[in-house]
Amino acid sequence: MLPVNLFDPIPESLPDELVEVLARGGDLRIERIVSRGHSSPAGFWYDQKTWEWVMVVRGAAGVFFEGDAEAVCLAPGDYLTIPPHCRHRVEWTDPEGDTVWIAVHWTE
């Protein structure tokens, strides 16, 4: 078995956010997400049926939750646990480099 590095390969061109499933089983899914200045479309809200634990590993991002006054800023090592149906959006990600996230989705 050979190891895989979380930072390789990241495409040189990234017109859309990259979402890759790293592992899954039962009701659990682990994703690597790479953003390069990407954000949620205007008026779009995530409203997921599952729990989500998300961590920024590299880069920076702002996550806005419906009803809040401002976005939560995330730097490397920062994470959030988002309950089901907690409406949120990615307000911004670092436009100068890659923001690498790990997202874990599950149901109770």
pLDDT at 108: 85
* Confidence band of 7 (pLDDT split at 50, 70, 90): very high
37: left (phi > 0), else alpha (psi -120 to 50), else beta? left
43-59 burial code (b ≥16 CB/10 A, e <16):
eeeeeeebbbebbbbbb
Contact at 8 Å (CB) between 7 and 100?
A: yes
pLDDT: is 36 or 108 the higher one? 36
Q: How far is CA 65 from the centre of its chain?
A: 14
Instruction: Provide the whole-model pTM.
Output: 0.93
User: How far apart, in whole angstroms, are the C-alpha atoms of residue 21 and residue 33?
Assistant: 9
